[in-house]
Chain A
Amino acid sequence: MIAFNKYYNHFNLLSSVLIVVSLLLLIFKGLNFGIDFKGGTLIELRASDSKINVSSLRDRFNQMDLGDVSVKKFGNDTDFLVKFENKDNKKNIIEEIKTNLDKSFGNNYDFRRVENVGPKVSAELLKSGVIAISLSLALMLIYIWIRFEWQFSLGAILALFHDVIVTLGVFSIFSLEINLSIIAAVLTIVGYSMNDTVVIFDRVRENLRKYSDIKIFELTNISINETLSRTIITSATTLLALLAIYFFGGEILKGFSLAMILGVVFGTYSSIYIANTVLVRLRVSQKTVLREEEDKK
């Protein structure tokens, strides 16, 4: 049996630091919102001429007076991702850009993807994204509150907040782009983290009923160990699937799968080191479980 409980305090401290740092990052550095949430235009371009590279593209686009332009390589050497604000929301901007690029590069390039999100739509998307995440957290809270005692709910929700905040913190520190699919990833993380926590909690509660003489500090450790192989195997298969998406699923799914990978890692960690320690700190005992059951009767 691994003594997870020996490090409860250490990891609680670490998590607190992680959360504080993430929050500070989110407040002061902020998130790198993509055009879905910030508005603007995105062009994925494939070149068939080696003359076309990041710097020549950047030169061209900067001459077009489009506001802030970012040009990046996208996947391999011939693919580029160009993003700009399109502040005035010009109507024929794509046409203009094409004519302009034709002059310098001829027909040696191809627009593979064009996305243009107006300011109104991006504001709405951001709003619905925030609502979706808040709603899912609220629903999870309600669900776990119906299924478990309040101490458990608190533990699970703290673990959830930890996972979401720290994942976003990582996105902030590395300036990774937040777009619609990241919202989907965060929601899935919420589901996964909850899933992981609930499995351990289920065991904790079962053991609380079984043993009246074991303190919660020991009991959580027993429960973690009993469910450990399941935790490892499920995390492993999920990570294997996600790694396959990350490495082989194409450039578009990279951010999405990375967020999920982070989420699975944090979710597994938090089920052990956050959710359970809340039970310990709240001194959950057999009485907690039995009292609740009597109330329900």
Chain B
Amino acid sequence: MLYFSKLRIIFITLFSVLFILIASSNLFKFDDNFFDKKINLGLDLQGGSYLLLEIDNEPVIEQKLQNLTTTIRNYFKEKNIKINNIKIDNQNIFFNVTDNDKQSVLDVFQDENSDLNPYYPRFKSHQLEIEDTGLNLKVNFSRQGLIKLKTSSQDQAIEIVRRRVDEVGTNEPNILKRGNNRILVELPGLDDPMRIKSLLGKTANLTFRFVTNDENDRFGVEKLKFENGLEEATVSKRIIISGENLLDAQPKMDTQANQTIVSFTLDRVGAKRFGKATSTGIGKQLAIVLDGKIISAPVVRDTIASGSGQISGGFTFQTATDLALLLRSGALPAPLEIIEERTVGPDLGQDSINAGMIALAIGFMLVIIFMFVKYKIFGLITNVTLIVNLFILLGVLTLFEATLTLPGIAGIILTVGMAVDANVLIFERIKEELKDENNNILAFDGGYTKSRTAILDANITTLLAAIILFFMGSGPVKGFAVTLGVGIFTTLFSVYFIARLFTSIYVSRNKDKEKLI
């Protein structure tokens, strides 16, 4: 166990030096792109905001079912099958058909080539399930159908979230999917997430609809509140133009009325519709509705054919900017709810870094002093190893651009404390061997060999704990698992290569000395 070939010595030296260099790259700024990897600081250390958003898919499902009733009715109308009493209840569509038609309706739904009910061969499932309850037919989304629906609304939502966050212009946001109905947003360096939170909390569903007094409007009507929550107006359900028709939106100052407005430009289809509606609707009130609330309802005075217009509604410059931003980035397919938020201010982050570093330095010193007092020259060897170990650990973290969190720093300190265990096991074993072995070399060799299983066992158990933590933990705790886990490997390397190399050099030079350890 004590013999090292030249090649191996060179390898160990190069490896250690390489990682020490990599680790120290965190301290310097390299101008070229030769090596630009760095340890990332977690949000708890650099400050920032962590938001977990959940998509509320209920309205999407309701809307889809609503559309489906029309589709089903029209589809069977073409086939001369009469659908009766179609209604939605608790996310199910119910309808009646005559007994003669029942089988053919069921067949349509179960046909793998049906264009009414798409079939997913990969999952061997249709989008919709149909069931004959005896009284009527019941249609609802299959498990796969629901999953498809959720992932597609998640895909749309993450795109919109990304646009909104980018528009605000924070540095290096991290936006990720979680499961099939959640979105994780990490905003490093953001001190106050208030604005982003309020931007993400809005669906931004914009519609232009006429105010009407005709309760029997062909498209139906609904009573909507104004943004101030005081007044109400009856608005037709017929949508003239919606947010999808917008090409651009910008906050502007209307110098004539001396107020902030949002000016918008419409696409071709929107411009045409807007022109037509304003020409026929002169004198009527056109309500501008955002997320079910009326922003304002100006009276149409003239035909607007230019395809551009403006929204006024008592905005401050900030609210106008935000509204323009929301309109530019588009509407979310479904409302988002912030179900978890963690924000750390940058000064607390810096305090945590300082505290962590002080604790690391003090912990390190204490362990080093303890080991030196206890083992003298071998304590020194352990200590040198410990320092190299620390650098290799930091080097590995840098190489993988791992994220360092506050618990992660704790993991490093703990690694320092536990890393000496392997050396202690070896040295104690050597002491025992020396009791009935006079040959130093043989005793040291025996000490290394016989302590090996205990060391492996000990490290594997800690590694198991770290692995579970890595997969089950989140955020900061994951950082702890990473440093603890990586620390085990670097410790084993430094104990079995570096410390052993030093030990072998020392022992072979002093092989005749008594009481070597």
On whether the beta carbons of B406 and A191 are closer than 8 Å, the reply is no
Selected contact of A234 from candidates B52, B360, B407, B424, CB within 8 Å: B424
Query: Does the CB pair B406–A252 fall under 8 Å?
Result: yes
Kindly report which residue of chain B lies nearest to residue A196, judged by CB atoms. B458
CB-based contact B418/A249 at 8 Å: no
**Contact residues of A between 250 and 272, Cβ < 8 Å to B:** 250, 252-253, 256-257, 260
Q: How far is the CA of A142 from the CA of B105 in the complex (A)?
A: 55
Instruction: Tell me if B352 and A121 are in contact (CB < 8 A).
Output: no
- Please determine whether B464 and A244 come into contact, CB atoms closer than 8 angstroms: no
Chain B nearest CB, measured from A181 CB (Å):
6
A95 within 8 A of B: yes
With contact pairs A132-B472, A230-B425, A238-B418 given, residues A248 and B461 touching in the complex (Cβ less than 8 Å): no
Contact B462 A191 (CB under 8 A): yes
Q: Which B residues are in CB contact (< 8 Å) with A94?
A: 194
Do A113 and B343 contact each other (CB < 8 Å), given the known contacts A121-B52, A230-B428?
A: yes
Q: Does B186 have its Cβ within 8 Å of any Cβ on chain A?
A: no
Are A118 and B457 in contact (CB-based, < 8 A)?
no
Q: Which residue of B is nearest A120, CB measured?
A: B339
Question: Residue B469 at the A interface, CB < 8 A?
Answer: yes
Known: A237-B420, A240-B370, A253-B410. 4 other contacts (CB 8 A): A116-B340, A140-B464, A191-B465, A192-B418
B414 touches A184 (CB 8 A): no
| Neighbour of B340 across the interface among A118, A188, A227, A250, CB < 8 A | A118
Docked complex Cα distance between A234 and B426 (Å): 12
Q: Give Cα distance in the complex from A239 to B421, angstroms.
A: 12
Q: Quick check: is B359 within 8 A (CB to CB) of the other chain? A: yes
Taking CB as reference atom, which chain B residue is nearest A189?
B465
Give B143 Cβ to nearest chain A Cβ, in Å.
Answer: 21
Cβ–Cβ contact A187 & B406, under 8 A: no
Mask for A199-230, Cβ within 8 A of B = 1, else 0? Answer: 10011000000000000000000000011011
> A168 within 8 Å of B by Cβ?
no
Q: How far is the CB of A93 from chain B (nearest CB, A)?
A: 10
- The CA of A140 and the CA of B462, in the complex, are separated in Å by 10
Given the complex of chains A and B, what is the CA–CA distance between A44 and B47 in angstroms? 13
Q: Specify which chain B residues have a CB less than 8 angstroms from the CB of A199 in the assembled complex.
A: 425, 454, 457-458
Nearest Cβ in chain B — how far from A101, in angstroms?
A: 14
Listed A/B pairs (11) with beta-carbon separation below 8 Å:
A116-B340, A132-B472, A143-B460, A188-B465, A191-B464, A195-B461, A230-B424, A237-B371, A245-B414, A249-B413, A252-B406
B413, B453, B460, B472: the one contacting A131 at CB < 8 Å is B472
Query: Would you give the shortest CB distance from B436 to chain A, in whole angstroms?
Result: 13
Question: For the complex, what is the distance from the CA of A241 to the CA of B370, rounded to whole Å?
Answer: 11
Which of chain A's residues has its CB closest to B418's CB?
A238
Complex-state Cα separation, A132 to B453, whole angstroms = 27
Name which residue of chain A comes closest to B464, CB basis.
A139
- Interface membership of B367, Cβ < 8 A: yes
Q: Please, what's the 1-or-0 string for B328-359, where 1 marks a CB less than 8 Å from any CB in chain A?
A: 00000000011111111101100110011011
A91 and B338 contact, CB distance less than 8 A: yes
Docked complex: A166-206 residues within 8 A CB-CB of B: 180-181, 183-184, 187-188, 190-192, 194-195, 198-199, 202-203
Query: What per-residue 1/0 map shows which CB atoms of B388-414 lie under 8 Å from chain A?
Result: 000000000000000000110110011
| B352–A250 touching, CB < 8 Å | yes
Question: 7 nearest interchain CB pairs?
Answer: A241-B417, A244-B363, A191-B465, A250-B355, A132-B472, A118-B339, A249-B359
Q: Is B374 an interface residue (CB 8 A)?
A: yes
Chain B 413-452, CB-CB to A under 8 Å as 1, else 0, gives: 1101110110011001000100000000000000000000
Q: Which residues of B contact A125 (CB under 8 A)?
A: 474
Give Cα distance in the complex from A190 to B462, angstroms: 8
Contact A237 B338 (CB under 8 A): no
Asked whether A112 is an interface residue with its Cβ less than 8 Å from the other chain, the reply is yes
Given A113-B344, A121-B52, decide whether A194 and B461 contact each other with a Cβ distance below 8 A.
yes
Instruction: Tell me whether B201 is interfacial, beta carbon within 8 Å.
Output: yes
Chain B residues positioned under 8 Å from A190 (CB to CB): 465
Interface size on B, residues (CB 8 A): 68
Residues in B neighbouring A136, C-beta threshold 8 A? 464-465, 468
Chain A residue with Cβ nearest B182: A121
* Cβ proximity bits A103-115 to B, threshold 8 Å, 1 near / 0 not: 0000000111111
Query: Which residues of B from 194 to 225 have beta carbons under 8 Å from A?
Result: 194, 198, 201
Instruction: Write the nearest CB–CB distance from A34 to chain B, whole angstroms.
Output: 12
- With both chains docked as a complex, state the minimum distance between the C-beta of A290 and any C-beta of chain B, in angstroms: 18
A16 at the B interface (CB under 8 A): no
Say if the beta carbon of A242 comes within 8 Å of chain B: yes
In the bound assembly, the distance between CA atoms of A184 and B410 in angstroms comes to: 11
In the assembly, what is the distance between CA of A230 and CA of B430, in Å? 12
Q: Is B484 in contact with chain A by the CB < 8 A criterion? A: yes
Counting CB contacts under 8 A, is B322 at the interface?
no
Cα A202 to Cα B358 with chains together (Å): 37
- Are A184 and B366 closer than 8 Å at their CB atoms? no
Residues of B within 8 A of A191 (CB): 461-466
Closest B residue to A179 by beta carbon equals B477
CB < 8 Å: which of A115, A242, A253 contacts B343?
A: A115
Contacts of B344 in A (CB 8 A): 112-113
Q: How far is the CB of A183 from chain B (nearest CB, A)?
A: 7
Which residues of the other chain, B, contact A181 by a CB distance below 8 angstroms?
407, 476-477, 480
Minimum CB distance partner of A229 in chain B: B428
B457 touches A202 (CB 8 A): yes
For A117, the chain B residues whose CB sits under 8 A away are 339-341
Question: Chain B residues near A252 (CB, 8 Å)?
Answer: 44, 352, 406
Name, among B420, B458, B466, the residue most crowded by chain A CB atoms within 10 Å (CB to CB): B458
CB of A24 within 8 A of chain B?
A: no
- B481 touches A (CB below 8 Å): yes
Q: How many angstroms from the CA of A195 to the CA of B465 in the assembled complex?
A: 11
A132 touches B469 (CB 8 A): yes
B473 within 8 A of A: yes
| Contact among A194, A202, A244 with B366 in the assembled complex (CB-CB below 8 Å) | A244
Question: Chain A CB within 10 Å — which of B194, B362, B465, B484 has the most?
Answer: B465
Quick check: B194 and A238 within 8 Å, CB to CB? no
Interface centre among B416, B464, B481 (most CB of A within 10 A): B464
B475 and chain A: residue at smallest CB distance: A180
Q: Is the CB of A139 within 8 A of B362?
A: no
Contact string against A for B residues 91-128, beta-carbon threshold 8 Å, 1 for contact and 0 otherwise = 00000000000000000000000000000000000000
Minimum Cβ distance to chain B for residue A279 (Å): 17
When distances are taken between beta carbons in the complex, the residues of chain A under 8 Å from B363 are 240-245
Q: Chain B residues near A55: list those with CB within 8 A.
A: none
**Which residues of chain A are within 8 angstroms of B374 by Cβ–Cβ distance?**
233
Contacts of A64 in B (CB 8 A): none
Complex CA gap A237/B416 in Å reads: 8
Given A112-B347, A184-B407, A248-B355, check contact A242 B417 (CB 8 Å).
Answer: yes
The chain A residue sitting closest to B367, CB to CB, is A237
Closest residue to B467 on the A side, CB-wise? A139
- In the complex, which residue of chain A has the Cβ closest to the Cβ of B351? A250
Interface residue from B52, B370, B457 paired with A236 (Cβ < 8 Å)? B370
- The chain A residue sitting closest to B473, CB to CB, is A184
